[in-house]
Amino acid sequence: MSLYQQVRALLYKEIVLEWRSRYALNGILLYVVSTIFVCYLSFRGLQAVTWNALFWIIMLFASINAVTKSFVQESRGRQLYFYTIASAQAIILTKIIYNVFLLFLLAVLALFFYGIVFTNPVGDPALYLLAVVLGSISFASVFTLISSIASKASNSSALMAILSFPVIIPLLILLIKLSKNAMDGLDRASSYNEIAVLLAINLIVITVSLLLFPYLWRD
């Protein structure tokens, strides 16, 4: 099978598995909604800068929780089975693509609910949505490989946070800046720099993941 066919089959399997036991999906959606509600009850009103920063912090924690399970939940036996029928690149690529969709869904839902409880005018909604898309891609690409690293060690959930925070911070800084530009409704040309750097970092991270993952699973 070609890489494309493998990725498609594996992606289908991920979605079917997720849909059958919806508890993981529902759990993470409930997690983000209740976090927002806790924030609402503790902050009440927010200033524009805080509104933006808080949204990304909520997304950061929800994303870590959502992605951590991508390698931990599968039993050793099942992983061994996948490894005999698919290439390592196909597996990591599938996980990244699947996590991008999952995190995008999560982010859109979070943004919708967040916008209801904390009303805040966004100057350029299309650009803000682009920031959310780029954010989902960045979180997914960074956290997927790190979750597979963390799943190999004991105490993986604590390790996941320690390993991923320093790596995600540069991306988070750029995302907050980009979405702040969108919120203020600045001219789009002023955000091209951030978008380009974000895309470049993601390209590097995904390439490095594809190169490194074969060393991780052979174990």
Partner 1 sequence: MQKNWWKILASVLILYSVIAGFLFEVPRLPILHESIRNLYFHVPMWFTMIVLYLISVIYSIKYLSSGDEKHDLIAVEMVNTGIVFGFLGLVTGMIWANFTWGSPWPNDPKLNSAAIATLMYMAYIVLRGSMDEEQKRAKISAVYNVFAFPVMLVLLFILPRMTDSLHPGNGGNPGFNSYDLDSQMRLVFYPAVIGWILIGVWIANMRYRTRLIEINS
User: Which listed range, 48-56, 107-115, 125-133, 194-202, lies at the site for partner 1 (CB under 8 A)?
Assistant: 194-202
Q: Is 153 in the site for partner 1 (CB under 8 A)?
A: yes
Q: Is 197 near partner 1 (CB under 8 A)?
A: yes
Q: Quote helix, strand, coil % in the chain, to nearest 5.
A: 85, 0, 15
Residue 165 within binding range of partner 1, rule CB under 8 A: yes
Q: How far is the CB of 152 from partner 1 (least distance, A)?
A: 5
- The set of residues, in sequence order, having a beta carbon less than 8 Å from that of 31 and lying 6+ positions away, is 62, 65
Four-CA torsion 102, 108, 111, 114, nearest 10 degrees:
-70
Q: Which of 17, 49, 116, 169 binds partner 1 (CB under 8 A)?
A: 169
Core vs surface per residue 158-183: b (16+ CB within 10 A) or e: ebbeebbeeebeebbebbbbbbbbbb
Rule CB under 8 A: is residue 216 a binding residue for partner 1?
A: yes
From the CB of 51, what's the least distance to partner 1, in Å?
A: 21
209 binds partner 1 (CB under 8 A): yes
Residue of the chain from 116, 162, 184, 199 that contacts partner 1 (CB under 8 A) = 162
- Buried-state track 47-73, b at ≥16 Cβ within 10 A, e below 16: eeeebbbbbbebbbebbbbbbbebbee
CA 204, 205, 207, 212 torsion-angle sign: positive
Give the interface segment with partner 1, choosing from 28-36, 58-66, 126-134, 164-172 (CB under 8 A). 164-172
Which residues are at the interface with partner 1 (CB under 8 A)?
Answer: 145-146, 149, 152-155, 159, 162-163, 165-167, 169-170, 173-174, 193-194, 197, 201, 204-205, 208-209, 212, 215-216, 219
